Amino acid sequence: MKKLIVISLSVLMLTACSNSNKVLNTQKLTTLLDSVLEHNYTEIEPGAMLLVAVDGKTVYQRGRGIADMDTRQPIDVNTNFNIASISKQFTAVAILQLQERGLLSINDPVAKYMPEFKGNIWKKVKLRHLMSQSSGVPDLRPRDDRDWMIHATDDQSLEYMTLLDSLKFEPGTAYDYVNPTFVLLSRIVEKVSGEEFEQYMQNHVFGPAQMDNARYFGPEKVIPLVAHGYQDDPDRQWHKFEYGEETFFGTRADGGIYTSANNLLQWENALRTGKVLRDSTLQLAYTPQVTVTGSKWSTYQNRDNTAYGLGWFIDSTDPDNPKIYHTGDNGGFQAYLAKYPTRNLVVIMLENRHDHDRWQMQTEIERIILSCYE
């Protein structure tokens, strides 16, 4: 059971400020967010990095806790975390870039690029279905074989698709959150661009966004300033919970990026200023493609007023202030990246422990932020 966020009554009372205007009271914001971090993390355990930005500029940043329990390195804005499924939006951007260059269309069928896939289903599954979690492609990896799942590579994760001949539902008609379909998108990036996937991402995505710390995980790679993911036992002893201990770290396009809060702000600024995609293309990515709420196929982010675009969730609970976001969960890591375009507001939260109710915490953090516009 995830722990509930605990905030004192005095903090809650402080948040009762007006949200009717557009100026953010940063002094009040700092007081309130400091209280949240201090109530939920200590300085001697794995913790979190929280960053808030408005108009591309940081208005709050603070790390609380330890990135590496062996070296006792503290968490700060440059600490590199596994961002898990937030990685999917980077893959989606690569596909959209190739569409802008006229090298493919997101309405192309997968069969056009993967002739080795024998099933007729690939003639009706389009790239946009893969990008919007609406393909109907099942996840048939051997999930009961834990060792296989821990160490599976991109190639191994796609093997079952070669002979796949049936779908869970007609493409585009329902939401089902599937990871290997984004690995498939990375293969298409390679075939169309002629570049190896990581090289393409460095040349056309990370580089233009000035994400100098961003890289994909690999068992042989050394990631500088890295946070390790942890879980605790009943005696409150912390143990690493990452590659070798948990599944899904071995694949890249669906969840393999390690990067920092500082670099994620660089990413958001690059998106906002057109450095990696045209604005019209970006708005397409932010447009709901399939309804998430009420899906019978997947519980992941299956919340009220939620849809999926092309690599992003869209929360329209407040129609005048929609939220575009993605979450990530893997091993001891929890990650969250959200934006409120009507306010040019970005919220980044990266954790290297997995025992907090992330959604409750983010809801409270965002309530505090929005309440401090005066």
Residues of 81-111 as b/e, b for ≥16 C-beta within 10 angstroms? Answer: bbbbbbbbbbbbbbbbbbbeeeebebeebbb
pLDDT at position 22: 75
pLDDT at position 16: 36
**CA–CA–CA angle 197, 199, 200 (5° rounding):** 65
pLDDT at position 316: 97
Mean pLDDT of 190-197: 98
pLDDT band for 13, please (50, 70, 90 cuts). very low
The string of pLDDT tens digits covering residues 61-72 is 999 999 999 999
Q: Chain-wide mean pLDDT for the chain?
A: 93
The string of pLDDT tens digits covering residues 21-62 is 579 999 999 999 999 999 999 999 999 999 999 999 999 999
The string of pLDDT tens digits covering residues 146-156 is 999 999 999 99
Q: What is the DSSP string of 100-162?
A: HTTS--TTSBGGGT-TT--SGGGGT-BHHHHHTT-S-----S-TT-HHHHHH--HHHHHGGGG
Tokens representing 338?
């959200």
Mean pLDDT of 320-327: 95
The string of pLDDT tens digits covering residues 356-366 is 999 999 999 99
Percent of the chain with pLDDT over 90: 91
pLDDT at position 18: 37
The string of pLDDT tens digits covering residues 213-246 is 999 999 999 999 999 999 999 888 999 999 999 9
CA 311, CA 326: separation in Å to the nearest integer?
Answer: 8
Q: Which amino acid is at 285?
A: A
pTM to 2 decimals?
A: 0.93
pLDDT at position 20: 43
The string of pLDDT tens digits covering residues 256-286 is 999 999 999 999 999 999 999 999 999 999 9
The string of pLDDT tens digits covering residues 288-317 is 999 999 999 999 999 999 999 999 999 999
pLDDT at position 291: 98
pLDDT band for 248, please (50, 70, 90 cuts). confident
* Domain 44-356 in this protein, CATH class: alpha beta
Name the CA radius of gyration of the chain, rounded: 20
pLDDT at position 327: 98
pLDDT at position 282: 97
Q: Residues near 237 by Cβ (< 8 Å), separated by ≥ 6?
A: none
Domain boundaries, the chain: 44-356
pLDDT at position 17: 38
φ, ψ of residue 186 to 5 degrees: the values are: -65, -35
Mean pLDDT of 132-154: 96
User: At residue 351, does pLDDT exceed 90?
Assistant: yes
pLDDT band for 2, please (50, 70, 90 cuts). low
